[in-house]
Structure 1
Amino acid sequence: MSEISSELTHINASGEANMVDVSDKAVTVREARAEAWVLMAEETLALIVNGQHHKGDVFATARIAGIMAAKKTAELIPLCHPLALSKVEVQLTPNAERGGVHIQSYCKLAGQTGVEMEALTAASIAALTIYDMCKAVQKDMIIDGVRLLEKRGGKSGDFNA
């Protein structure tokens, strides 16, 4: 793990949860990447990759779900600012060696607060969508490794996992 800050920005002086005021922050380009894995049996992965899943194109559906989720993050995560995203990308890559699907999300905007939560939400919901579409075939899939890979911009600077 990396360094840990002792300052919780969503807690006011009285210890109450509050939304951070970003009105005095400079508008800068903010970017974030996140990832998640959906681990599954070789047969389940083959159904997805070969386009033989009875529910249709699993990757297309998961990609759209991830993009939609990034746009709805402020409705899902308390105290998150609603953001005008300029780009959301969700990539899904089958990985037979690891036995599953690797999901990477990318979010970008010009704004006063970061897009880490949007990138994490996109990757998470894409993973949940894959699980939902494939659960009839395999119930013991594992969603794993949801994490922020990098963030760029803003006062706190850049972060790379």
Structure 2
Amino acid sequence: MKLTHLTDKGIQMVDISKKEDVFREAVAEGYIKLMPKTINLIKENKIKKGNVLTTAQIAGILAVKKTYELIPLCHPLPISSVNIDFEVFEDKIKVVCTVRTTYKTGVEMEALTGVNVALLTIWDMVKSVEKENNYKETEIFGVRVVKKVKKDGY
């Protein structure tokens, strides 16, 4: 098996220069479990740090744009679109990050980074409430890619 990032001289970024630009989309999702009390405070916009979901959206979008700075061998990509959506349940919040580009390589890592940073931002925004229960119910889980699209001849 040939390793794509290793050579006899060390580490390399994969050469994508001969690949064609292709429309690509990735959707990732993840969840954060919170106390029902915290969910209610988020819904009522009563978290002391501010609007939790808007802040998490901004953080997730920024993270997508900076993925190549965080993951050493990721290529910088011309991101066409980022969308961060939320579904709020009684005891958890689902974050969905959709990323699009027309480029030589996919956007799965960008979508996963967007979800993770949005989830971490939610945790940071609500930790003053969640720590009352010593984080016993607080958990990030279920982070995964749920859709990948690659279309030639866009």
Asked if these proteins are the same fold (TM beyond 0.5), I'd say: yes
Q: 2:48 aligns with which of 40, 50, 54?
A: 54
Q: Matches of 1:36 and 1:113 in 2, distance apart?
A: 23
Residues 1:127 and 2:123 are matched in the alignment: no
Distance in 2 of aligned mates of 1:78 and 1:16: 14
Identical columns (%): 43
More helix by share: 2
Query: How high is the TM-score relative to the length of structure 2?
Result: 0.90
1:116–1:151: 8 Å Cα contact kept in structure 2? Answer: yes
3-state secondary structure, aligned to 1:133: helix
| Structure 1 match to 2:139 | 142
Contact 1:114-1:154 within 8 A present in 2 as well: no
Cα separation, 1, equivalents of 2:140 and 2:116: 9
Structure 2: which 5+ runs fail to align?
none
Letter of the structure 2 residue corresponding to residue 38 of structure 1 = I
Give the Cα–Cα distance (whole angstroms) in 1 for the partners of residues 97 and 3 of structure 2: 26
Normalising by structure 1, report the TM-score: 0.86
The structure whose residues are more often strand, as a share, is 2
Unaligned segments of structure 1, at least 5 residues: 1-5, 156-161
> 1:65 touches 1:126 (CA, 8 Å); kept in 2?
yes
Distance 2:130 2:114 in 1: 23
Distance change >3 Å, CA 7–CA 62, structure 1 → 2: farther
Kindly report structure 1 stretches of 4+ aligned residues shifted beyond 3 Å: none
Q: Distance in 1 between matches of 2:26 and 2:9?
A: 29
RMSD across aligned C-alpha pairs, in angstroms?
Answer: 1.6
| Structure 2 counterpart SS, 1:21 | coil
Q: How far off its partner does 1:9 sit?
A: 2.8
Q: Are 1:47 and 1:53, in contact at CA under 8 Å, matched by a contact in 2?
A: yes
Residue 39, structure 1, aligned to residue 33, structure 2:
yes
* Structure 2 match to 1:151: 148
Q: Does 1 or 2 have the higher relative contact order (CA < 8 Å, sep 6+)? A: 2
User: SS of the residue aligned with 2:68?
Assistant: helix
> Would you say how many aligned residue pairs link Structure 1 and Structure 2?
147
1:17 to 11, 15, 23: 11
Is 1:94 the counterpart of 2:88? The answer is yes
Residue 10 of structure 1: how far off its partner (Å): 2.3
Alpha-carbon distance in 2 for matches of 1:148, 1:8: 23
